[in-house]
Amino acid sequence: MTVTEDNQAPSAAEATDTAYGPGIDPERLSVCLSVLAELDELDVDHPDAVTVRRATAGIYRTVKQRRRQERRAAKTAHDKAVTEATATGSAERIDDETEGLLPSSQTEEGRIAGILQRPRSCYTCKARYVEVDYFYHQLCPDCARVNRAKRDVRADLTGKRALLTGGRAKIGMYIALRLLRDGAHTTITTRFPKDAIRRFTAMEDSADWIDRLEVVGIDLRDPAQAVALADRVAAAGPLDILINNATQTVRRLPAAYAALVDGESAPLPAGELPPHHVIGAFNSG
């Protein structure tokens, strides 16, 4: 029985080229090795020996640096995969209740997303940790356990007055919904009040609490508007809950707000709407 050329196993050189890419011409490699062998016959201080040592030292450093970079890249990729396996660190995370369901905090006891290769500092207690909770990627196991237990705790806020700055979207809207669903009369501030009204009225249970929601259009970067808001809140009576959530850590270009600004000129949806008013010019970027 004969083996045809098409079925012949690849040579060692071909296998090497496949695994690592093309190498050095064998004849040139042989010359290189023979030159290196001659170093044993030269005085250690001979200029040629010094030149070769410098060249090989540079190659050695380059190899070490490359391997170090590869190890770092592998650790980074591993830790990124662990983070993305959590609810809060997932690339598919949904922060906005109007865009879908928030990730569930109900997980099995002791369930983890993975083990980090680089320890992190807990966002809350600053302790270093490597075991990553399935839900909270920035918390150590102990703090994650406490936060998970508190996440769905309810409180009777019937008759309480709450002021929440920055309550239009994401965590601000989530906090506002918790306050409203627990019975509080809640005032939220935003630079885009009509957008906020659309978001809140779109919630399936809005009929249960929409009459206890007030939306204030305001730009808190203007001190005069902030003072006007404080006076208005004080005139309405004692305030039980104050949550300062409004912030703008990154200044975006005006174009980033174009759709929101246009939406403030569009009509509001039909049906019951929360009380709302505007203080000053609120919807500039």
Distance CA 70, CA 7 (A): 36
Q: How confident is the model at residue 2 (pLDDT cuts 50, 70, 90)?
A: very low
Q: 111 CB contacts (<8 Å, ≥6 apart)?
A: 134
Quick one: what percent of the chain has pLDDT higher than 70?
82
Residue 285 reports pLDDT greater than 60: no
Mean pLDDT of the chain, nearest integer: 84
Q: State the pLDDT at residue 101.
A: 47
Q: State the pLDDT at residue 175.
A: 93
The pair of three-digit structure tokens given for residue 48, joined into one six-digit string: 């040629």
Give CATH for domain 161-278.
Answer: 3.40.50.720
**209-237 average pLDDT score:** 92
Q: Which residue has the higher pLDDT, 5 or 208?
A: 208
CA max distance for the chain = 102
Based on DSSP, count helices (H) and strands (E) in the chain, helices before strands. Answer: 8, 7
Supply the pTM of this predicted model.
0.63
Q: Which residue has the higher pLDDT, 226 or 3?
A: 226
Distance CA 141, CA 217 (A): 40
Backbone phi, psi, residue 222, to 5°: -95, 110
Residue 108 reports pLDDT greater than 90: no
Name residue 38's amino acid: E
Q: How confident is the model at residue 8 (pLDDT cuts 50, 70, 90)?
A: low
Q: State the pLDDT at residue 4.
A: 47
Q: State the pLDDT at residue 228.
A: 92
Q: How confident is the model at residue 88 (pLDDT cuts 50, 70, 90)?
A: confident
Domain-by-domain residue ranges, the chain?
84-151, 161-278
Q: How confident is the model at residue 123 (pLDDT cuts 50, 70, 90)?
A: very high
Least confident range from 79-93, 158-172, 226-240: namely 79-93
Distance CA 116, CA 132 (A): 7
> Of 31, 52, 33, which is closest to residue 43 (Cα–Cα)?
52
Residue 160 reports pLDDT greater than 70: yes
Distance CA 146, CA 153 (A): 11
